[in-house]
Chains A and B, each alone.
Chain A
Amino acid sequence: MNMMTKVESDKELAQSTRAKPRGLTRPAPVRKSPARYRLENLALQVLLIGGFLLLWEYASDRWVPKLMVSKPSEIGAMMQRWLMDGTYMTNLWVTIQATFFGFTFGAGAGMIVGFLTGSWRRLGDILQPIVTAFYTLPRLALAPLFLLWFGLGIEFRIVFAATIVFFLVYYNTYFGVREVSRELISAVRIMGASRLQVMTRVIIPSALVWVAAGLKISVPYALVGVVVAEMLASDQGMGFLLSRSASQFSASGSFAAIAGLLVVALIVDWIITKITDRALRWKTVAEQN
């Protein structure tokens, strides 16, 4: 005999997924559709940026010396020229390559060490203070050493970016693993899971929320690392373009280089967000409920 009828079950399912009932006395405010909300936000952003650019264009050479801030119209012209003569493509490609490898190596190492130290308590207790000591060290102080070891090539920029990314991903992974619910682990162990299965079925997916957050914040840091390294010692890349423009007192060139970096950062951030959202679909669903 099964007391729970299908109708009851369906009702329960519907209740669990439906919005909460509205109050009796005061109607709930009418919510805008998500598409309209996004469109309005986009319009406001365009308005804000457009207004700022117009103000900048007007203020340059009137209130602020043009030598220092240039003009959006001149920056635009410079960007167009760099786009046409291949300056952007050549230098962006160099920067993107170094960022990609720096991010991959740094994040990969951060995840591996974070998982090991997080899941193996003894190792964590031994290594954690040492990692923290290195973390507090200003990365810029290591640049001369890296230059000595790796020379002026792409390796120097990759290693420099990787050392920045490593710590961000390491800490997120380490704490993510440590935060995994003991109750979940016990439940899966009693179901018959081996140590490896506990790792793959519980610890890794659970820590993934933290790891994803670490990855997301470390992408711009990887880019910053590469650009700084290129500014320090390089003859190519967006950092090089930026420092060369600055040394030639070309504010237009500096802003054009920054704008190029901005576009790259936005594209990379969008890609990472798409990947992590897909991997953490359950989290998005949970946040909506």
Chain B
Amino acid sequence: MLLELRDIYFRYHGEAPILEGFDLEVQDGEFVALLGPSGCGKSTLLNLAAGLLDPLSGEVDFEGKELKGLNRNAGYMTQGDTLLPWMTVTNNIALPLELRNFPKAERQQKIERALRLVNLWDARDKFPSELSGGMKRRALLARSIIYDPPMLLMDEPFGALDAQMRETMHQELLDTVGRTGEGVLFVTHDIAESILLADRIIVLGGKPLKVMEEIHIKWGKDRDLDQIRKDPEYTALETRLRDLLRAAHS
């Protein structure tokens, strides 16, 4: 088991509980999408998995061990632009390696591989302000995976992109995690995004947050997103998830 949240109770100071007796599991190499209305507590779940928040009771286990403090073995990518503006693309991507004292030779090799993986080799000496929205996302993705963490935590990472760029990034992400074999916990409120990317969709709703439905996706890792969009099952799933989200809202 890669990640396990057991019997979690959490509330922000002076507010009603967001999570009460909440359980969640992610297997090695599994892509799990957390789908739910905005503000329902999806990001809180992700922050608990990242160790940025501590549960008031219950346990977060990562790779079989209880998580104490920050989860430094998970790549974390948010909707915000967290590239350091004073560093070039290369230096931004290399930062996790530098902070983790990777040997210089290995560092160089990993940087080149990551830059080529996300097609940013030609933009390696540019500052973030010189990049387009899509290029920034790709740089953030490269930075999240460069030290080969066993898991990626992604909080609506493509929410700020236009539809066309989002489609490109979806394929890019699937290709990347397909090659690296990382597990992914992906927070979104976009139904199509969850169907296209995930192996398993967990629909969340209610206060405190509970799992409304869990749906296993049949398309496998080597999926063709254009073909999936034409599949009648895709439309049926979309309708079903829309109904579930509507119920979660009410």
Q: A15-B132, A285-B129 are in contact. Are A190 and B70 (CB under 8 A)?
A: yes
Instruction: Answer whether residue B71 sits at the interface, using C-beta atoms and an 8 A cutoff.
Output: yes
Q: Give the segment of B59-67, B95-103, B104-112, B192-200 that binds chain A.
A: B95-103
Q: A3-B171, A4-B172, A187-B78 are in contact. Are A192 and B119 (CB under 8 A)?
A: no
CB distance from B45 to the nearest CB of A (A): 16
Assess the B84–A13 pair: CB atoms within 8 A.
no
Instruction: Answer whether residue A133 sits at the interface, using C-beta atoms and an 8 A cutoff.
Output: no
Q: A190-B52, A282-B129 are in contact. Are A184 and B82 (CB under 8 A)?
A: yes
Assess the A285–B127 pair: CB atoms within 8 A.
yes
Instruction: Answer whether residue B86 sits at the interface, using C-beta atoms and an 8 A cutoff.
Output: yes
Instruction: Answer whether residue A6 sits at the interface, using C-beta atoms and an 8 A cutoff.
Output: yes
Assess the B84–A12 pair: CB atoms within 8 A.
no
CB distance from A204 to the nearest CB of B (A): 10
CA distance A8 to B138 in the complex (A): 14
Chain B, 53-75, CB within 8 A of any chain A CB: 70-72, 74
Instruction: Answer whether residue A286 sits at the interface, using C-beta atoms and an 8 A cutoff.
Output: yes
Assess the A183–B82 pair: CB atoms within 8 A.
yes
Assess the A1–B132 pair: CB atoms within 8 A.
no
Assess the B132–A12 pair: CB atoms within 8 A.
yes
CB distance from B140 to the nearest CB of A (A): 9
Instruction: Answer whether residue B80 sits at the interface, using C-beta atoms and an 8 A cutoff.
Output: yes
Total residues of chain A contacting the partner, CB 8 A: 36
Q: Which residues of A contact B51 (CB under 8 A)?
A: 190
Total residues of chain B contacting the partner, CB 8 A: 37
Instruction: Answer whether residue A289 sits at the interface, using C-beta atoms and an 8 A cutoff.
Output: yes
Assess the A188–B74 pair: CB atoms within 8 A.
no
Instruction: Answer whether residue B123 sits at the interface, using C-beta atoms and an 8 A cutoff.
Output: yes
Interface string of A265-289 (1 = CB under 8 A from B): 0000000000000001011011001
Q: Which residues of A contact B129 (CB under 8 A)?
A: 282, 285-286, 289
Interface string of A76-99 (1 = CB under 8 A from B): 000000000000000000000000
Instruction: Answer whether residue A264 sits at the interface, using C-beta atoms and an 8 A cutoff.
Output: no
Q: Which residues of A contact B70 (CB under 8 A)?
A: 189-190
Assess the B85–A188 pair: CB atoms within 8 A.
no
Chain A, 151-199, CB within 8 A of any chain B CB: 183-184, 186-194, 197
Assess the B175–A1 pair: CB atoms within 8 A.
yes
Closest to A286 in B: B129
Assess the A190–B84 pair: CB atoms within 8 A.
no
Closest to A208 in B: B86
Can you list 15 residue pairs at the A/B interface with Cβ under 8 Å?
A: A3-B175, A4-B172, A9-B119, A16-B132, A16-B135, A17-B130, A184-B84, A186-B52, A187-B78, A190-B74, A205-B84, A205-B86, A208-B86, A282-B86, A286-B85
Q: Give me 19 other A-B pairs in contact (C-beta within 8 A), A2-B175, A201-B95 excluded.
A: A1-B175, A1-B222, A3-B175, A8-B168, A10-B122, A12-B132, A13-B123, A13-B135, A188-B84, A188-B95, A190-B52, A191-B96, A192-B100, A201-B99, A206-B86, A280-B86, A283-B85, A285-B127, A286-B85
What residues make up the interface of B, taking CB atoms closer than 8 Å to A? 50-52, 70-72, 74, 76, 78, 80, 82, 84-87, 95-96, 99-100, 119-120, 122-123, 126-127, 129-132, 134-135, 143, 168, 171-172, 175, 222
